[in-house]
Structure formats: structure tokens, C-alpha cells
């Protein structure tokens, strides 16, 4: 990433919008915006191969209401919401905070909610370290590009879900997950 170039581009954008870039409030805006965008675009790796053996447990692990923020690649506007992630382990479980870290690492960059949802599901399901029987990921978010501009649909939320393994094949597993998260998960 090139901070100098990003700052010059933001300054150019402000000029194109007929803004006086020398006034106090706008003088440092190109630097601030460039830093904000570079922070959003910096990859954050989540190590999800650290597992613990769990021979007796045969159930479902769910982490609910994990907050996340990302930036819509179509409008460069932030969107923010909550993720609910469930999986059925096969003798190995993941440290619980790793699921939150996984959501965080998948929400960096310029993305879409659909893309984050699939990436979380794929990384969880494809991880050799966990070898889970299946996973389910449900995200609910409010998008600035929908609530602040265009349709001005404030309060409207977007829900996306992805299923892998047993959650795709066994409706009862999906049902159990949904009944456990809807209690105070999704509105």
C-alpha cells in the first residue's frame, strides 16, 4: 500500500467535490482517510489450527453475537453487524476466541457480507486442524450504503447464511442452531 498516493487521491477527490482543502477541518482529512482505509485493508491473520482434544463431546458449539465491521467494496462505506457461528466438532474443538478472530480476519479489506459469510464457513470447514463435521455461519448487518444513501432504509438489516457438511445435509442440525441463536441473537 502507498500512503502518499492514497492521501493525494483523497485530496483530489475533495477538490473534485469543490471543497477547500486548506481550511482547518479538511487540512488533515486526506491523511486521516488514507490511514483509515489502509487500516481496513491490512490483512489480519487468524490462526485457527490451535485445537484441544475433546473425546466425549458430541454436540454443537455456537458462538453468538460476534461484532464485526467491514467495508462494502461497492460504495466504500462501512457496514457493521453481528456474526453467529456454529460447528460440530470431530474429537477436536477450537479455542472459543478463535471463532471471533476468524470473523474479524475475514472482515478486513473491501468486501461484501456474502463474501465474509462464505469465507468464514470455508475456513472453518476446510481447516485440517479442526476437521469438523459441519459448520453454519449467519451474519446480520446494517449497511451504510443502504441506510445513509439511496433507499435510506434505516434499520433494515441484511441476513446471510452459509452451511457446510452436516448442516447442509441434516435439517434438524440447522433447526437446532437457529433455535439456539434466535433466543437473543437475531432480532
Query: Which residues make up the interface to Zn ion (CB under 5 A)?
Result: 72, 74-75, 145
Closer residue to Zn ion, CB minimum distance, 65 or 112: 112
CB of 39 to Zn ion, least distance (A): 19
Residue 70 near residue 108, CB atoms below 8 Å: yes
Q: How far apart are CA 73 and CA 18, in angstroms?
A: 25
Closest-approach residue to Zn ion (CB): 145
Alpha helices, H only, 3-107:
3-16, 24-27, 29-41, 96-106
Q: How far apart are CA 110 and CA 78, in angstroms?
A: 9
CB of 79 to Zn ion, least distance (A): 7
Closer residue to Zn ion, CB minimum distance, 129 or 150: 150
CB of 77 to Zn ion, least distance (A): 6
Closer residue to Zn ion, CB minimum distance, 48 or 72: 72
Q: What is the DSSP letter of 156?
A: -
Amino acid at each position: 500500500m502507498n500512503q502518499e498516493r492514497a492521501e493525494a487521491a483523497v485530496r483530489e477527490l475533495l477538490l473534485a467535490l469543490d471543497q477547500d482543502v486548506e481550511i482547518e477541518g479538511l487540512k488533515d482529512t486526506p491523511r486521516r482517510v488514507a490511514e483509515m482505509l489502509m487500516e481496513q485493508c491490512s490483512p489480519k491473520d487468524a490462526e485457527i489450527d490451535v485445537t484441544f482434544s475433546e473425546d466425549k463431546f458430541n454436540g454443537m458449539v455456537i458462538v453468538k453475537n460476534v461484532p464485526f465491521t467491514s467495508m462494502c467494496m461497492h460504495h466504500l462505506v462501512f457496514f457493521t453487524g453481528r456474526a453467529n457461528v456454529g460447528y460440530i466438532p470431530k474429537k477436536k474443538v477450537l479455542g472459543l476466541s478463535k471463532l471471533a478472530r476468524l470473523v474479524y480476519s475475514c472482515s478486513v479489506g473491501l468486501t461484501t457480507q456474502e463474501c465474509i459469510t462464505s469465507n468464514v464457513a470455508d475456513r472453518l470447514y476446510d481447516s485440517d486442524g479442526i476437521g469438523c463435521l459441519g459448520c453454519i455461519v449467519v451474519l446480520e448487518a446494517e449497511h451504510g450504503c443502504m441506510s445513509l444513501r439511496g433507499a435510506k432504509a434505516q434499520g433494515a438489516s441484511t441476513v446471510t447464511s452459509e452451511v457446510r457438511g452436516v448442516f447442509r445435509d441434516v435439517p434438524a442440525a440447522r433447526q437446532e442452531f437457529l433455535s439456539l441463536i434466535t433466543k437473543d441473537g437475531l432480532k
